[in-house]
Amino acid sequence: MKEKLAAEFLGTFWLVLGGCGSAVLAAAFPQLGIGFLGVSFAFGLTVLTGAYALGPISGGHFNPAVSVGLWAGGRFPASQLLPYVVAQVIGAAVAAGVLYLIASGKPGFDLSGGFASNGYGEHSPGKYGLGAALITEIVMTFMFLIVILGTTHKRAPVGFAGLAIGLSLTLIHLISIPVTNTSVNPARSTGPALFVGDWALGQLWLFWIAPIVGAALAGRFSRAVFDSADSPDIAGRA
C-alpha cells in the first residue's frame, strides 16, 4: 500500500506542477506564451506520462474524482479510497508549494493573478456564472471517467488507455478553461487554492462536489453499460 500511495502522491504532484505550472509560468509569457492550447496539452501530457510511468504501481488515478468514479464503477475498493484521496491532495499541495517558490522568483509576482486557481463568476476566465461552472464540471468529469472506465475495461484493447486518457483531458481543457479554468480534479483545485486563499478557498466547494458527482454518475453508468452481459468483445485485445 505504501508504494501505491507514493505513486499517487508523485503522479498528482506531477499533474499539478506540469499543468498549473504551464498556466502560471508559460501561458502568457511575453511574445512566446503558450496560451490556452499549450496549457491544455500540458495537463494532458502530465496525465499521459504519469499514467504510463506510475499507473502500473497505483492504477494512475492522480485525482480524487477518478478514485471515486472507479469505486462507483466497482473497479476500486472502498477501503483504499480515503488513503488515495489524502495522498493526492498532499501531492497537489506540495506541487503548488514548489510552483509558488518558482513563480515568486519573478519580480512583480502576485497571487492575486489567480495562481491557476479554479473559479466562477468574477473569477472565471470568461466570467461564467455558478450554474455554468457547475454543469461544466459535472459533465466534463463524467466524460473523463467514461473514457477512463471504457479504455481500461477488460474488453478494451491493451496498451492504449494512457494515450486516450491524456488526450481526453486535453480536450476537456480546450472546452472548459474559459468557464472554470478547468478542474475535473478536486486535488488540482485544492493545491493552488491553499496559496491564494480568500475567494479561491471560498469557491473550492464547487470543485469538490461537481467532479465527484460527475465521476460517481459515470461509475454507475459504466456498471449498467460497459459491464452488461451482452456487451460485445472488442477485437484486437491481446
Residue 109 belongs to domain with CATH number: 1.20.1080.10
Pick the closest to residue 23 from 105, 86, 82, 96 (CA basis). Answer: 96
Q: What is the pLDDT of residue 160?
A: 77
Q: What is the pLDDT of residue 34?
A: 80
Q: What is the pLDDT of residue 112?
A: 78
236: in domain? no
Buried b (16+ CB within 10 A) or exposed e, 171-207: bbbbebbebbbbbbbbbbbbbbbbbbeebbeebbebb
212: in domain? yes
Q: How far is CA 165 from CA 92, 122, 143, 157, in A?
A: 19, 31, 10, 14
- For residues 136 and 2, what is the distance between their CA atoms, to the nearest angstrom? 35
Which grid cell is 69? 468514479
Q: What is the pLDDT of residue 94?
A: 97
Report angle CA 120, 123, 126 to the nearest 5 degrees: 75
- For residues 32 and 35, what is the distance between their CA atoms, to the nearest angstrom? 9
235: in domain? no
Hunting for cell 506542477 — which residue is that? Answer: 17
74: in domain? yes
Q: What is the pLDDT of residue 233?
A: 42
Which grid cell is 155? 474488453
Q: How many domains does the chain have?
A: 1
Q: Is 91 within 8 Å of 192 (Cβ atoms)?
A: no
Cβ contacts of 3 within 8 Å, gap of 6 or more: 57, 58
Per-residue pLDDT of the chain (238 residues; tens, 9 = 90+): 999 999 999 999 999 999 999 989 887 756 667 888 889 999 999 999 999 999 899 989 999 999 999 999 988 999 999 999 999 999 999 999 999 999 988 888 888 778 999 999 999 999 999 999 999 999 999 999 999 998 887 776 677 788 899 999 999 999 999 999 999 999 999 999 999 989 999 999 999 999 999 999 999 998 888 776 555 444 333 3
Q: Is 43 within 8 Å of 15 (Cβ atoms)?
A: yes
37: in domain? yes
- For residues 194 and 200, what is the distance between their CA atoms, to the nearest angstrom? 8
Q: How far is CA 90 from CA 10, 43, 84, 96, 192, in A?
A: 10, 18, 10, 10, 12
230: in domain? no
- For 119, left (φ over 0), alpha (ψ -120 to 50), or beta? beta
234: in domain? no
- For residues 86 and 76, what is the distance between their CA atoms, to the nearest angstrom? 16
Q: What is the dihedral of CA 119, 7, 72, 212, to 10 degrees?
A: -10
158: in domain? yes
The whole domain housing 175 covers 2-225
